[in-house]
Amino acid sequence: MIKQVEWSENPLTSQQVVEFEPEVKPQQLQRTENQVTASPVEDLEEEVELNPPANPNRSVVESVGAIPNQLYERLGLTMPRWLLWIMTVVIGIILSGLLVSILALWTPLWSNLDRTDEDLGTTTKDEVKIPLPGELWSKLSQYQLSRPMNILIMGIEPVNGTVDGSPESFAGKSDTMLLVRLNPSDKSVRVLSIPKDTMIAIPEKGEKGLTKVSDANAKGGPVLAARVVSRTLNNAPIDRYIRISTSGLRQLVDQLGGVEVFVPQSMEYKDSSSRLSINLVSGWQTLNGEQAEQFVRFREPGLGDLPRVQRQQALIAALLQRLNSPTVLPRLPQLTRLMRKYFDSNLKMEEMMALVNFGLNLDRDNFQMTVLPGTFSRFSKDPDSYWLNMTGQQSLLNDYVGVNVPGLKPDMRQVPNLKIAIQNASNQPQLTEKVIAYLKHKGFTNIYKVPDWPDTQRQTQIVVQKGNRQVGVDLQKVLGLGQIEVAAIGDLESDLTIRIGKDWK
């Protein structure tokens, strides 16, 4: 039976989830304290003959021992008695094994690995029994999404004087903010990165003027943060939230055995006040939890939050690839305990199951990312302030948020008129001018080259910056090659970035 998880229409309110009742209860097996010691068959027979029971009803041992003798006499077998004994024992073992196998197939796999002391000792008779994580993971495929869902994910900055994982540790500013939309109708996951310096208003708190979106959680918690993001995106529905504490990302990456990412440049930074020290070398490497945190928190001067958003999306893609590894799937129940401590969310356990099941069956082309459209103000007192600009972004709002704005038009420009950056990743300098000449011959008018990508790539990559995969497909048809990547990891000024690989002839 498939369980479809319905999400509450009221944003950020806990929905009532029908209690999960297992169809088959686990059998309780009792083990005797006395262990049975095997003895030779000849000794057993001698004991039965020398010590007949006084009770006219034969003992169990005598009854079992008499069965082969009766079969021997009735069937008129000519084989030695000792051979018949051996065959009887072997057949008995086989039948016992088949019985145990049948019971195992019909009995659910129950696990107590994730039960804490509270789970084992504080449940009263009047409380409703909540299924254990191990019980749910064994029935993962039963949980499915029934309609689109928007989740606001926030990575919280460290809060001085708090214990990581405590309620107080989730009260800081949001260093990272993502709006994730899961849509079962087209089986897609779309991630909208929201720069932390995006300017917003918080009238509920009596604030005058504007402030940055990263302040919302510190001023009013996840409810206020969700309300501010929703209003900024034309009252977009936000069904659930997830807040990750300082150590949450580190612990998650370590539990997964690290993640493999490409570090585009050396990163060095030290801040004694926040106890943040960053020291990463460039190149491909498997980052542990502490290094992954350094990778996403490093911030170049003068470029605002966008380069950091790009690294966050690169890490998200690496995490997703790691989660899809067959070696990680058995660890998912153990990750539940980690999430209880370092993740704060109003997601129900059954909803988490549906999300994981949805992600495990996700096609790579249906996982897409982009960044909230906007620009940095050159006239603001704060050069890092990021101002929203949704002109021509109707398609983005519809696909990534689920909102249609009356009067807002989609971007109707054809691919030859889009702004396309050419980036050489082939280690063959002559290819840059060759690609530019080819595209101009095809009628492309807005083409420019950017510094070479430091990692040599075998395959040409088409990076779709603005979230619309179709324009990447159209460009792929023109080039006749290229792997499409829908993510904001290309040149920041471009609509599309072509990273030339060795496959370009």
Model pLDDT for residues 41-53, shown as the tens digit of each residue: 344 333 333 344 4
Residue 350 has pLDDT above 50, yes or no: yes
Average confidence (pLDDT) over 90-97: 53
**Helices of type H across 195-284:** 216-232, 246-255
pLDDT at 356: 80
Average pLDDT, the chain: 76
Using only C-alpha atoms, the chain has a radius of gyration, in whole angstroms, of: 32
**Distance separating alpha carbons of residues 149 and 146, to the nearest angstrom:** 9
pLDDT at 205: 54
Average confidence (pLDDT) over 198-222: 82
* Predicted TM-score of the model (pTM): 0.72
Average confidence (pLDDT) over 139-156: 86
**Distance separating alpha carbons of residues 42 and 95, to the nearest angstrom:** 24
Range of weakest confidence among 196-205, 252-261, 303-312, 484-493? 196-205
pLDDT at 384: 81
pLDDT at 117: 33
pLDDT at 500: 97
Percent of the chain whose pLDDT exceeds 70: 69
DSSP letters of 460-482?
Answer: -EEEETTS-HHHHHHHHHHHT--
Token duo for residue 461: 């990559």
pLDDT at 193: 95
Q: How many residues does the chain have?
A: 505
Q: How confident is the model at residue 404 (pLDDT cuts 50, 70, 90)?
A: confident
pLDDT at 444: 96
Range of weakest confidence among 24-33, 297-306, 446-455, 488-497? 24-33
Of 233 and 64, the structure prediction assigns the larger pLDDT to 233
Average confidence (pLDDT) over 97-106: 42
Average confidence (pLDDT) over 209-232: 91
pLDDT at 439: 96
Residue 385 has pLDDT above 80, yes or no: yes
pLDDT at 160: 84
Cα–chain center distance at 225: 22
DSSP letters of 338-371?
Answer: HHHHHEEE---HHHHHHHHHHHHT--GGGEEEEE
Range of weakest confidence among 84-98, 203-217, 415-429, 479-493? 84-98
pLDDT at 441: 95
Sheet holding 461-464, edge to edge: 447-449, 420-424, 496-500, 461-464, 483-486
**Distance separating alpha carbons of residues 138 and 350, to the nearest angstrom:** 12
pLDDT at 59: 41
Cα–chain center distance at 38: 52
Token duo for residue 222: 């996840």
The strand pair at 420-424 and 496-500 is best described as parallel
C-beta of residue 230 within 8 angstroms of C-beta of residue 215: no
Helix (H) or strand (E) segment spanning residue 174: strand 174-183
